Structure 1
Amino acid sequence: MISSIQQHRNRNLDLLRILSMFMIVLLHSQTFGIFHYGLPSGIQLFTVYLFRNLAIVASNCYVLISGYFLIKKGFKRKKIAYFAFEVSFYSAFIYLMIVLFTPLTFSIQDFFHWIFVLFWGNYWFATLYLVLYLLSPFLNLFLNQLTQKQFQQVLIGSIAIFSLWATFSHLPILGMNEGYSISTFLLLYTLGAYFQLYQLPFKWKSGWYLFHYFNIAVGLTVYFFLIDYKDWMIDYHSPFVLLASILLFLFFKETHFKKTWGNKIIPFIFGIYLIHEHPLIRTLLWEEWIPIHQIIQQPLMNLILLGLSTLIFIVCLLLSFPLHKLSKRIFEILLTKLN
């Protein structure tokens, strides 16, 4: 029975990974698309803010899921080695394809830059995730030695410092970097681990988690629309985004979907990020291929952006199928030769 419940939760969280990746694409359609041409007004601006506040939890949910699973699964050298290889493979392969099909000139220096892309932070999430995974054995060792009360004290202290204090004080010495920091990832990992190891002191119907998640997004949207837009309120480590991320995570964790198909495409989902967020693809996508300046003039701009994000998601997923399989095959060959 316990195994069955765990499998349900695993499949549910696979769906959250897929939704989070779509949210990431939607966020990028705003950040690198319409925001470069100025914000709309009226109901379109309200909808832009609402979509952004709903989607801003995406990266946080990914890390929560990692903490939830890795606290029990532990560190696997082969997995982290493949993660680094896959990022490098996608990055270098995309560079070569762009050199082949655009006027960009090949440079050996650029080629090595894209091979070792994790060192330069072009994929900020991948770089931080690599660091988090490398730290996870030591973090697990520490967390597994704590009693539940001690674990709660660690969480309360961490949230007080790295979320509440860091958000409202804006102190750069805390090193949060708008949430793009290893401190944010460690906090999220610890929260995910807690949800794996311990039961919550209360039990809501799963729909309430979703209801309050929407409430936070709508509340922030109304504030931005009627009073003032504050970037810091939707930094990844802010208490508003942190709480919304937890609520969405708990909704998927506690909901029992009858059937899920997400596990079949999960191996290819991360490739969507690696393809559309490659700096060279990003430039082509939002500055040449997609007529953003025309889209923002349309009365149905936000619906068009939703459709556009869906199209980018699907195309990158289809491209990820062969790229993932090829990278996996090359990695196994290299591993065999090294052994």
Structure 2
Amino acid sequence: MLQIKRKRNYGIDIARILSMFMVVVLHNLLQGGVLDFDSLGTANLMYFYLENLCIIAVNLFALISGYLMVDRKWKWQKLIVLWCTVIFWSVVTTGSFMVFRGTFNVKLLIKSFFPVLLKQYWYFNGYIVLFLLIPFLNAGFKYLEEKVISSVILALVLLSVTVGFIGNLFEQGGYTAFWLIVMYLVGAWIKKRQPIIKPIWLLMIYFGGAMVSLLGEVLSIVKIGHVDSWIKYNSPIVVVQAIAILLFLSNLKVTNNKVCQWLTSVSAMTFTVYLIDGNHYFYQYVLTNSFSFIKGVNLFSGVITILIGSIVMFMIFISVEYIRTSIMKKIR
């Protein structure tokens, strides 16, 4: 029987699971062919609102890294293990879906063996840089004055959501190692300071922020003809939303042993969800327009289909990772 450590913050496990589920929803809406970037239709605006709720996924996952790692011992072996997992799922996902679709591309299969070199997963490439810098980042929290570290983090965030948001800080909308470092620092700062804000206010910030982004998207469509820059990880609204959800979930109390066991097990496997769902072959050749049929159904059915479809995909991805880890444990 798994022994539950009461000191574990299961709210963070929920946050990790939620962030990867949001990634699946995001990909299904965008690459799945649901979103129309120049339409003001009611259904399309609702899907954009759902997108705005889930766009915090990357920021939330990076915030969690800082929250968890700032007080932990850095071990280089963890990166090697994770790197091997990335290669495994890059090759297996690519090969499996080639077989499933009945098409075989030698070039793409060979590329799948070199996911880092060929930037198959942008987040992992950025995470490598972040991981190697964690000892230095953590040392800052240990040896610098609190006022200094807080000022530096605040300056980095403000620069990122202003200068960086308009594209003049080499952040590419948040698709960089630098942005992951900024989010790591914020997550670590939250862990150290433990700011207390009423849960209702945090939820209002989260859902209200998505609405503000939606208004911005509507204005962009009206004035420019298409959605401009609102769906960016370094959007000031998206950053505030992600921080609000981290604060909300980090203060949740979970006491049921079975729920705690489930959260512990599933959260440890969540990165595989990204590795499969974000796999180049799956993303480009399988997921593309696979949910576009939703445009032909009513709004309620469309939203339910997206959510249920995303849950099913998430659970399938978790299940195959469970099989892999179970086999690896038996081999060892």
After TM superposition, the score normalised by the length of structure 2 is 0.87
Q: Which of these residues, 158, 164, 167, is aligned with residue 166 of structure 1? A: 164
What letter is aligned with 2:282? I
CA distance in 2, matches of 1:328, 1:162: 42
Q: Is the 8 A contact 2:19 2:61 kept in 1?
A: yes
Q: Which of these residues, 236, 248, 256, is aligned with residue 233 of structure 2? A: 236
**Equivalent residue for 1:218?**
211
CA distance in 2, matches of 1:242, 1:186: 14
Q: Which of these residues, 200, 211, 223, is aligned with residue 207 of structure 1? A: 200
Pair 1:31-2:30 in alignment: yes
Shift of the 149–6 alpha-carbon distance from structure 1 to 2, 3 Å rule, reads: farther
Secondary structure at the counterpart of residue 128 of structure 1: helix
Instruction: Give CA deviations for 1:37-58 in whole Å, capped at 9, x if unaligned.
Output: 7665422022111101110001
**Equivalent residue for 1:86?**
85
Secondary structure at the counterpart of residue 129 of structure 1: helix
Instruction: Give CA deviations for 1:187-231 in whole Å, capped at 9, x if unaligned.
Output: 10000111122243xx32223211211111112213323554644
Secondary structure at the counterpart of residue 104 of structure 2: coil
Give the paired residue count. Answer: 319
Identical amino acids, percent of aligned pairs: 25
Q: Is the 8 A contact 2:56 2:241 kept in 1?
A: yes
Unaligned runs of 5+ in 1: 333-339
Q: Is the 8 A contact 1:69 1:193 kept in 2?
A: yes
Structure ranking higher in helix proportion: 1
Instruction: Give CA deviations for 1:135-175 in whole Å, capped at 9, x if unaligned.
Output: 2112222332111101111012111222222214x32xx21
**Equivalent residue for 2:189?**
194
What letter is aligned with 2:12? L
Secondary structure at the counterpart of residue 117 of structure 1: coil
Pair 1:105-2:104 in alignment: yes
Pair 1:249-2:250 in alignment: no
**Equivalent residue for 1:295?**
294
CA distance in 2, matches of 1:77, 1:98: 32
- The range that moved more, 209-218 or 52-61, is 209-218
Unaligned runs of 5+ in 2: none
Matches within 5 A, 1:1-339: 6-7=7-8, 10-35=9-34, 41-105=40-104, 107=106, 110-168=108-166, 170-171=167-168, 174-200=169-195, 203-225=196-218, 228=221, 230-259=227-256, 260=259, 261-287=262-288, 290=290, 292-300=291-299, 301-326=302-327
Q: Is the 8 A contact 1:37 1:293 kept in 2?
A: no
Once superposed, what is the RMSD of the aligned Cα atoms?
A: 2.5
Structure 1 residue 270: deviation in Å? 1.5
Q: Is the 8 A contact 1:162 1:183 kept in 2?
A: no
